Amino acid sequence: MAQYISQFDSTRELDNYYVPGADGWFLFDILITYGNGLKMAVFARYIDDTNLEYAIVNRGSTAVLDWLVDAAYIVNGVAPDVVVSMIKAIEFVNSHAGSEITMVGHSKGGYEAIMNALVTDTNCITFNVLSPFNSGSSIAMYIELLSARYTKRMTHYVVAGEIAFVGNSVFGSNYGNPAWSTVVYLLGPHPAWNTFANHGMDSVAIALGGTPLELYPAKPVPYTAPPVPGVRPSITPPPPTPKPTPTPNYNPPSIPGQPVPGARPW
């Protein structure tokens, strides 16, 4: 899903489609597009006949300007994208109380996903994340308070040596409390010195044994949406059956004692 939303741009529209290779997950909604790089989408799948579970996925860095925002995250700890992302995540979780919801993100989107998870106390999965867990951050105390009450799980997939991993190391960032945070290190598909190539979501997908999104069709095969629980399907009534046109009886039966019209009397 993180790989799927990483391809979103003005020329490649995401629509309600099943995500290739994602075990029944389909795009549920584009939650918000904001500023220079924030893109949040909601994916869903049915866990039984009536209930959905959700994943809120934040898109990672896709342009040079995004990388500048990434740098601001590391240095300052917060940026407008993060604040807006947390607000939208809180709104969605509050409006879907009782549902299983996981925050997901790659790179910059992973930073946002972690913050989303901390403020909503939901599970989180990240890929090559720029970590907010930095004691030198301007919001370190805020993150520490959120972490102290966090009760869920985080899993971070990291391609060893990729650029975000290097940045986290340089700035002294970690991946959260080991009591609820697990780091899974992966072997990248590119040479170790190529830190930028190993950072991309396609590289993560390959490292996990998946397929680069470039090999998927530009527009995935559309699906037939499952019925929405509690919503009666719209049914167009069939057109009324036309009444048969009576065939004129040109030879009506004769009445006894009456002449038959048109018949000779002999």
pLDDT tens figures, 160-175:
889 888 888 887 889 9
Q: State the pLDDT at residue 11.
A: 40
25: in domain: yes
Band of residue 157 on the pLDDT scale cut at 50, 70, 90: very high
For residues 130 and 108, the answer to whether their CB atoms sit within 8 Å is yes
Query: Residue 51 is encoded by which pair of tokens?
Result: 């209930």
Degrees (nearest 5) of the Cα angle 237, 16, 108?
160
pTM to 2 decimals?
A: 0.75
Q: What are phi and psi of 27, to 5 degrees?
A: -70, 120
263: in domain: no
243: in domain: no
pLDDT tens profile 50-105: 889 999 999 887 665 566 666 666 566 667 888 899 999 999 999 999 999 999 99
Band of residue 221 on the pLDDT scale cut at 50, 70, 90: very low
88: in domain: yes
Residue 191 CA from chain centroid, whole number: 30
Per mean pLDDT, which range of 28-37, 111-120, 131-140 is the poorest?
28-37
Q: Find the domain containing 38 and state its range.
A: 2-215
Counted domains in the chain: 1
258: in domain: no
93: in domain: yes
227: in domain: no
What's the CATH number where 24 sits?
Answer: 3.40.50
85: in domain: yes
CA distance 28 to 15: 9
